[in-house]
Amino acid sequence: MARIKDVAREAGVAASTVSLVLNNKGYVSAATRRKIEAAMEKLRYVPSEVARNLSLSRTKTVGVIVPSVSHPFFSELLESLESALYALGYKTLLCCTKEKDNAERAFLDMLRRKTMDGIIMGAHTLDTALYANLDRPIIAFDRFLREDIPIVHADHQYGGRLAAEAFLRRGCRHVVAIMGYQGVATPANDYHRVFAETMRQSGAAVHQIEMKWNAFAYRDFLQAADELFARFPAADGVFGSDLAIASCLRAAAAHGRRVPNDVKLLAYDGTSLTRIGAQTVTAVRQPIEGLAALAAKKIVARAEGTADTLPWILKPSLIKGETC
């Protein structure tokens, strides 16, 4: 395999001049550049991306930390993030933290050692102290980590109002919300808070079932759905994530409740899961592709030391379905 020294010898120039051409830095005359390019073609020289990136003090790689890839929201987010980063010339390195000790810490150590250019952090971490002294490029996705680490997220307050207004338009007066673990510091907690406030201000009753930390498996949501219909047989509305509502569709039939006649269901996230069942699910959809594109542009700007004027928050929308 040809090396820079071989190209330099063939072109009759110094190895440092070849390096200038490869990295597009400094002045090299057009004639010299042509000789170097001809030598590379003759020797079939392939530049080392690793060596070039080391010389530029970057790896063109961004780490993405999420709890799980089996959850439909995170799987769609990751697909969009990988595509958005690739379009910007960056590769994606994935870390799933569910049931892995120290995985998050290991990724942060890689960032400190400059083996990646930045991190998009979206895991349900409870140990935010890990980020206390981190001075490398990082943004959070729907997570509060540190006051000076900015967050890309949907307008969850707006999303919570959209959901409440949809239930109220259908006359629901006794609604149950299945919530994620509230010990995680995330802007997403706002959609449950605003939803409950809006419903109660209109005189409706709202009960809440809280999931355990990092409970993302289908069986976890099926258990919550069975508990819901056993504890609240008079509920006329159920609100929760896509997986929670998919589980409630199944559990409602098992408990003899017809959807939407007896109980209305409304999901939050609006992934493809809500569109593929026997009944399409009414949902508040987070703009996943838009959020991913925004997060990718933000982290690349920080990695490359440039500024941007892009927003940090995008509005969700209500998607009509057959369950509410």
Task: Give per-residue pLDDT as tens, 219-258.
Answer: 888 999 999 999 999 999 999 999 999 999 999 988 999 9
Question: According to CATH, what is the number of the domain 156-287?
Answer: 3.40.50.2300
Mean pLDDT for the chain?
89
Domain spanning 61-154+289-310: which superfamily? Response regulator (3.40.50.2300)
Listed range (3-12, 175-184, 212-221, 302-311) with the worst mean pLDDT: 212-221
**DSSP for residue 16:** H
pTM of the model: 0.80
Q: Which residues of the chain are in CATH 1.10.260.40 domains?
A: 4-55
**What is the predicted pLDDT for the residue at 55?**
52
Top-level CATH class of 4-55? mainly alpha
Q: How far apart are CA 235 and CA 170, in angstroms?
A: 13
Range list for CATH 3.40.50.2300 in the chain = 61-154+289-310, 156-287
pLDDT tens for 281-294 read 999 999 999 999 99
Beta carbons of 59 and 117 less than 8 angstroms apart: yes
What CA–CA distance (Å, rounded) separates 169 from 163?
Answer: 10
Q: List the single range of 30-44, 182-196, 257-271 with lowest mean pLDDT.
A: 30-44
Residue 95 pLDDT exceeds 80: yes
E strand segments, the chain: 61-66, 91-96, 118-121, 138-141, 151-154, 174-179, 205-210, 237-241, 264-269, 282-285, 313-314, 317-319
